[in-house]
Amino acid sequence: MMYYSRLRMLGVMALCLLSVLLCLPNFMKDPFPRWLPWHQVHLGLDLRGGSFLLLQVDLKALEKDRLQSLEHQIRQALVAEGLGYVGMQANPASAEVSFELRAPSERAGVLKTLNALTQDVSHEFDISISPEGHVVVRLRHEALVARAREAVTRSIEIVRRRIDSTGALDPTIARQGEDRIIVELPGISDPERIKALLGTTAHMTFHLLAPNPTQEVPGTTMLPTQDGRKLAVLDPVEVDGADLADANATMSDGKWAVHLKFDTKGAEDFARITTANVGKPFAIVLDGRVITYPVINSPITAGQGEISGNFSAQSAADLAVLLRAGALPAPLTVVEQRSIGPSLGEASIRAGLLSLGTGFLLVVTFMLLFYGRFGFYADIALLVNLIMILAVLSLFEATLTLPGMAGILLTLGMAVDANILINERIREEVRLGRKPLQALQTGFERATGTIIDSNATAFLAHVMLFVFGTGPVKNFALTITIGIGTTLFTTLVLSRMLIIRWYAHTRPQKLPV
């Protein structure tokens, strides 16, 4: 179609102007004018500088915790049925819990109890009883693998929530391999606070203290306190931190504290334990350490509590972040850490801009030399293409990395290919003796189908890269995917409009192509 209505031309020009306006915030420090959407492209780790952390999920600790939990379940199930056992112990090396029957007559009852327990936990383990009465409950390898995979997925989500709570901009969090997590933090050159947040499991439980808190007896565990002492804490968990609904840092009597709010189950457990134990100390345990042990002065039935201690504003806020984000299913350790300084990031930006600018100038010069006026119109479309890519990235506040800049440069090359195809088609029609208007119309018509087909296949390929890729691959695919859309617009709509308007005003007898 070689006719553009006034409304259509105004629409194209308005879209180009909007793209320019969306790009402006990237080159301004203050939002002006005020009505302009203040969205900017964020720079990635390789351009802005920051920190890189490689974390590993401690799957051995996860397996050990599962065995301890299984041992506790077996003890409770046997006691509830009035059955006994001798020498029960968990063996992490063989992933099993073993014990001896108290009496041969209890074999059938023990087997029935364990089978019922197996059904309750989705057949996670196998049970065997020897003729001598030795019982072994072994965790299945498939169950361990599934639990490990779930733990890594859950750890990624909790890491994301913890980092988002700190206000870090554009973090990249992704799985690597079976048990590792990559964390990239642009703009954060000192990641010590982040490491402390991520290195804390944040498993909080509430326990009663033993009658004699300085002496360990069966059913209790000696745990360290914040002041260096050790206290005997009763093993049963009265309230689990998993039942927390919210946690916030607050001021209480002029000191920083952490205010807790429980969900329905947690509120019921909290009310029950505080009602039955008025006047007794109540230990709050975080990752195996007693952080405080206040005395229960009265029943607490509102489902709210407070952790007080020697908190600073930062430590109270960090603890609240940890509790809100939830406990990690297993500890995380920092396997690798790298910091990229701002100067290196600036050097990367300069190198990226230099390559992008050089490539753009070479392409512009090539088009001018080989196609003259039509090459000039292609260069205008190319510039608008670059502006529109930046506008879309700004609108969605996307993160730009060096691979993303490479994707933009490649997009410009693809856009030039489309313009070359159109110009060569028009040249071919001129050589066949067609009149200027017919040559333009036929050239565009024949080139359009080829351009759409080639860009459609490239679009699908890079969408798959974006969906299944990670890190640099994803950013590279993002810029090219956006660039394909802007290329189709600038090549098939904008450049065609410029050529048509030129032809309508000059009516040349010969095309300058």
pLDDT in tens, 210-269: 888 888 887 788 999 877 888 899 888 888 877 788 888 888 777 888 888 888 888 888
**Per-residue confidence (pLDDT) for residue 197, from 0 to 100:** 75
Task: Judge whether 102 and 111 are in contact, CB under 8 Å.
Answer: no
H or E segment and range at residue 147 = helix 141-165
**Phi and psi torsions of 26, nearest 5°:** -70, -15
**Distance separating the N- and C-terminal Cα atoms of the chain:** 20
Q: What share of the chain has pLDDT > 90, as a percent?
A: 11
**Per-residue confidence (pLDDT) for residue 120, from 0 to 100:** 56
pLDDT-derived band at 344 (thresholds 50, 70, 90) equals: low
Q: Is the pLDDT of residue 342 over 70?
A: no
Q: Is the pLDDT of residue 513 over 80?
A: no
pLDDT-derived band at 283 (thresholds 50, 70, 90) equals: confident
The residue-averaged pLDDT of 313-326 equals 79
**Per-residue confidence (pLDDT) for residue 189, from 0 to 100:** 66
The CA-based angle 471-472-476, given to 5 degrees, is 125
Cα 135 to Cα 372: distance, rounded to the nearest angstrom? 88
H or E segment and range at residue 343 = helix 342-395
pLDDT in tens, 2-29: 667 888 889 999 999 999 988 888 887 7
pLDDT in tens, 130-180: 888 899 988 888 888 888 888 888 888 888 888 887 777 778 888 888 888
**Per-residue confidence (pLDDT) for residue 1, from 0 to 100:** 53
Task: Please give the DSSP secondary-structure letter assigned to residue 509.
Answer: S
Average pLDDT in the chain:
84
pLDDT-derived band at 36 (thresholds 50, 70, 90) equals: low
Listed in sequence order, the residues at least 6 apart from 180 whose beta carbon sits closer than 8 Å to its beta carbon are 54, 55, 56, 57, 335
**Per-residue confidence (pLDDT) for residue 236, from 0 to 100:** 81
Listed in sequence order, the residues at least 6 apart from 88 whose beta carbon sits closer than 8 Å to its beta carbon are 71, 74, 75, 97, 98, 99
Cα 146 to Cα 124: distance, rounded to the nearest angstrom? 10
Burial pattern 220-240, b for ≥16 Cβ within 10 A else e, equals beebebeeeeebbbbeeebbb
Q: Is the pLDDT of residue 112 over 80?
A: yes
Task: Judge whether 262 and 270 are in contact, CB under 8 Å.
Answer: yes
Task: Judge whether 378 and 419 are in contact, CB under 8 Å.
Answer: yes
**Per-residue confidence (pLDDT) for residue 123, from 0 to 100:** 67
**Per-residue confidence (pLDDT) for residue 289, from 0 to 100:** 85
Q: Is the pLDDT of residue 340 over 80?
A: no
pLDDT in tens, 441-451: 888 888 998 89
Listed in sequence order, the residues at least 6 apart from 276 whose beta carbon sits closer than 8 Å to its beta carbon are none
What are the tokens at 44? 């990635």
pLDDT in tens, 454-499: 899 999 999 998 888 777 788 899 999 999 999 999 999 999 899 9
Q: Is the pTM of this model over 0.75?
A: no
**Per-residue confidence (pLDDT) for residue 355, from 0 to 100:** 82
**Per-residue confidence (pLDDT) for residue 37, from 0 to 100:** 64
Task: Judge whether 364 and 379 are in contact, CB under 8 Å.
Answer: yes
pLDDT in tens, 396-435: 888 888 888 889 888 888 888 898 999 899 889 888 888 8
